Amino acid sequence: MSRHSGTVALVTGAGHGIGRAIALQLAREGAAVTVAEINEDWGRETVELLKAAGARTHFVKADITNFAEVEAAFADATAALGPISLLVNNAAFTDAGNLADIALDGWHKEIDVNLNGTYHCIRAILPLMRAQGGGAIVNISSVNATRYFGNPSYSAAKAGIISLTQSVASEFGRDGIRCNAVCPGSVRTDNITWTTRQQKDPQVFQKLARWYPLGRVAEPEDIANAVAFLGSDQAGYITGAVLPVDGGLLAGMNVMIDEFILESRND
């Protein structure tokens, strides 16, 4: 039997990048998957890929910044595929930037999509999961939540997601609800941030690789594998955890050590 046969998942932002990879991984492992997306064309493309993989699937159009839309989408998904047993909060937006230059409405938008949007989905799923006796939630945070890598508004929102993860895990464990967070480092996707950076420097991913102890940036499937584990019964005693999926980036400062400490030993 596959690890996720019997799982009914809903993945936000599953029309693109990492969200699509998560939806496909869960489907390959036997889950029924609702694709929740603000971009209908992308969402329906993922649904076609899921159908081709043999999955039961459904599309709901939802802007996670709108709580009423989220509630309606979750009711629609439940009617189509059954009670949602795994929620993956993946949808996100960032326009990059730094504190000195960020516009006030830019700050507000990134907090709204990334933190408030995630909260809306959690607020909508908790009564449903409590009523059905439990479930699992996996929130996609970022290494940006843990220290400065630019994108201050996005980073503050992603740090808020870690706190929210701990609140849900602590308050709702007795209801059989597990909630964990995944912190990716750089992931090779064609989202707006990476597309812009690649246009400026086609070698950006190769240059980034030297900062990663494992010698490469992540592929979306690396993140999907971690999500599929945390969302499964194999992670049945894991809740409130914050898992870096970052090729070792947060483990240390290897470039600094190579350039300033080890080099000086050879002087």
List interacting residues with ligand NAD (CB under 6 A): 12-13, 15-19, 37-39, 42, 62-65, 90-93, 113, 117, 140, 142, 184, 186-187, 189, 191
Residue 109 burial (CB count, 10 A): 16
Contact 91, 64 (CB under 8 A): yes
Sign of CA dihedral 219, 139, 137, 214: positive
Q: How far apart are CA 20 and CA 14, in angstroms?
A: 4
Minimum gap (Å) between residue 174 Cβ and ligand NAD: 28
- Maximum alpha-carbon separation in the chain: 69
The torsion region of residue 238 among left (phi > 0), alpha (psi -120 to 50) and beta comes to beta
Closer to ligand NAD by Cβ: residue 17 or 135:
17
Minimum gap (Å) between residue 110 Cβ and ligand NAD: 10
Closer to ligand NAD by Cβ: residue 96 or 134:
96
**CA-wise closest residue to 141 among 185, 173, 101, 78:** 185
Structure-derived torsion over alpha carbons of residues 152, 225, 198, 205, reported in degrees to the nearest 10: 100
Closer to ligand NAD by Cβ: residue 139 or 232:
139
- By annotation, the residues acting in catalysis are 154, 158
Q: How far apart are CA 40 and CA 191, in angstroms?
A: 16
Q: How far apart are CA 32 and CA 57, in angstroms?
A: 6
Minimum gap (Å) between residue 267 Cβ and ligand NAD: 37
Minimum gap (Å) between residue 187 Cβ and ligand NAD: 4
Closer to ligand NAD by Cβ: residue 132 or 156:
156
